[in-house]
Structure 1
Amino acid sequence: MLSPFAAARPTRLSRLVILSVLLSASVSPVPAVAHAAAGATFDWAWPVAAPHPIVRPFIAPATPYAAGHRGIDIAAAEGSSVTAPTDGVVYFAGVVVDRPVLSIRHADGLVSSYEPVESALPAGTAIVRGQLVGHVLSGHCSPACLHFGVRRYGEYVSPLNYLGGIPPSVLLPTRTLAHPP
């Protein structure tokens, strides 16, 4: 007898398709400009200097507490400057478990988070786009990288929605019509 979750398991083909999409995203830099995702704006700047190779992409969890990767990892040398992607206020600066984390509250219910980042800015500090907010430390990736996460009204979303790295969706027909309209 199949478990009640059997229908939710991905097939071998779907796992291969997902894997190929993730691998293609992780081996090439994401373009700086692309079409807008629904509700996204592109006034955000990358938090580290170019190039911006993504070493691990955003992987949305199936449920709020399921496994996933709730941000992107951007290759960045230890000591690299981290800048604010847009205006905001420092929401949190401190250590979570064993890593220094910086979170910034922005307009429209957005909060961006960075780890491992050493920052001297206390919570409540107003910041502007492009302002230095900290420096990358080692400890998240090998070699060093910056984990960059974004939440919108508490839900994790891909930072690429705001950096311009997600191409528009294209709907394709699932069947051909016998008689064209």
Structure 2
Amino acid sequence: MVTASLRSLSVLVLLSVVLASPRAVAATEDRLAGLGWVWPTTPVEVTRPFIAPAHAYGPGHRGVDLRADAVRSPADGRVAFVGRVAGRDIVTIDHGGGLVTTLESVVSDVEVGDLLARAAPVGRVSAAGHTVSGTVHFGVRLHGEYVNPLRLLGGVPRAVLLPCC
């Protein structure tokens, strides 16, 4: 029984190494950066960056906060949700391919099912939410996992390892 558990653990460790290989990560980064997304606000001013949690339930900041009045769709998509959650005005856009954007706090006239073109107006920033006044929280999930939205906007440079000696 212990041997079977160790075998299962070894397989999980091997899969995590293979799935997170530098080639796989680079391919995902290239695919995301090549989608042609636009900033949901103009001008662009990041007031709080993405902070990845150490684990799925750990503390972090799963998106970026942007100073804004008006908000637009970062890519083509279909409105998946419009409404209030915990006192916050939320708009969620499904972009296909497992990519979903959440914009908070945004008051909007769009309706669930509406098709939005890239850069189409979504709404205006409302006062309620976890962000400071005059900012919008821009979160992106890829297959249910939060990713840094800057990956889709070409804002996160790829790490380069330099020789140590």
- TM bucket by the smaller chain? 0.7 to 0.9
Aligned-CA RMSD value: 1.5
Given candidates 50, 54, 78, the residue that maps to 1:62 is: 54
Superposition TM-score, scaled by structure 2 size: 0.77
Q: Is the 8 A contact 1:37 1:166 kept in 2?
A: no
Q: In structure 1, what residue type is equivalent to 2:61? A: H
User: CA–CA distance in 2 between the matches of 1:130 and 1:38?
Assistant: 22
Corresponding residue of 2:39: 46
User: CA–CA distance in 2 between the matches of 1:105 and 1:86?
Assistant: 9
Whether 1:121 aligns to 2:114 is: no
Q: In structure 2, what residue type is equivalent to 1:99? A: R
- SS of alignment partner, residue 151 of structure 1: strand
User: CA–CA distance in 1 between the matches of 2:71 and 2:122?
Assistant: 6
* 1:93-172 alignment runs, 5 A limit: 93-139=82-128, 140-172=130-162
User: Shift of residue 42 of structure 1?
Assistant: 4.6
Superposition TM-score, scaled by structure 1 size: 0.71
Q: Is the 8 A contact 1:42 1:164 kept in 2?
A: no
Q: Which structure has more helix as a fraction of its residues?
A: 2
User: CA–CA distance in 1 between the matches of 2:58 and 2:90?
Assistant: 22
User: CA–CA distance in 1 between the matches of 2:132 and 2:79?
Assistant: 27
User: CA–CA distance in 2 between the matches of 1:54 and 1:131?
Assistant: 20
User: Shift of residue 111 of structure 1?
Assistant: 0.1
| Higher mean displacement: 147-156 or 39-48 | 39-48
CA offsets 1:7-27 (integer angstroms, 9 cap, x no match): xxxxxxxxxxxxxxxxxxxxx
Given candidates 43, 66, 83, the residue that maps to 1:74 is: 66
CA offsets 1:121-167 (integer angstroms, 9 cap, x no match): 11111111111111111233334201000000000000000111111
Q: In structure 2, what residue type is equivalent to 1:111? A: V
How many percent identity over aligned positions? 43
* 1:6-25 alignment runs, 5 A limit: none
Shift in CA distance, 95/143, structure 1 to aligned 2, threshold 3 Å: closer
Structure 1 residues not aligned, in runs of 5+: 1-35, 177-181
